[in-house]
Amino acid sequence: MPDTFDGGCACGAVRYRMQARPMFVHCCHCKDCQRQTGTAFVLNALIETDRVALLSGEPQPFAMPTDSGRPHRVFRCTTCGTAVWSEYGGVAKLRFVRLGTLDEPSALTPDVHIYTRSKLPWVTLPAGVPEFAAYYDSRKLWPAESLKRRQAIFG
């Protein structure tokens, strides 16, 4: 299993490298994610911003409305509009990298399914992967190493 993951936008103008494995991978079924992606859910690799190296291009942030009212910025390629990562709640030290933009998106799988209360009825969740109607307590679910990394971000 690799420790680095390269990815980029559809046109190739934005290229990046995740310089470590993500802390955790979310499959989010909330209505915001459905609306913003135009599909049933989004797959996000949670990783420290300083562990994502921008190799080329300069994705631009777009402020997105949310049901919670908390800030959400989606960073998109200015040429093709591909969303490469997000920043939630105004926390600039944490990136939510879109798995679909990885060169090998199958290299990572969801650790958890969240906001399943708004999951589309035809989506079948895999057995053995935790699921939550809303959010969850990361202290109970994340691996110890990921919790240490999270603590370094949030203090």
Plot region of 149 (φ>0 → left; ψ -120 to 50 → alpha; else → beta): alpha
Structural domains counted in the chain:
1
Torsion of CA 129, 132, 133, 134, to 10 degrees: -130
Q: How confident is the model at residue 1 (pLDDT cuts 50, 70, 90)?
A: low
Q: What is the pLDDT of residues 38-92, one digit of tens each?
A: 999 999 999 999 999 999 999 999 998 877 778 889 999 999 999 999 999 889 9
Q: What is the pLDDT of residues 111-152, one digit of tens each?
A: 999 999 999 999 999 999 999 999 999 999 999 999 999 999
Domain, as residue range, for 27: 5-154
Query: What CATH number has the domain bearing residue 20?
Result: 3.90.1590.10
Residue whose C-alpha is closest to residue 46's, from 154, 151, 155, 150:
150
> Is there a contact between 96 and 88 (Cβ–Cβ < 8 Å)?
yes
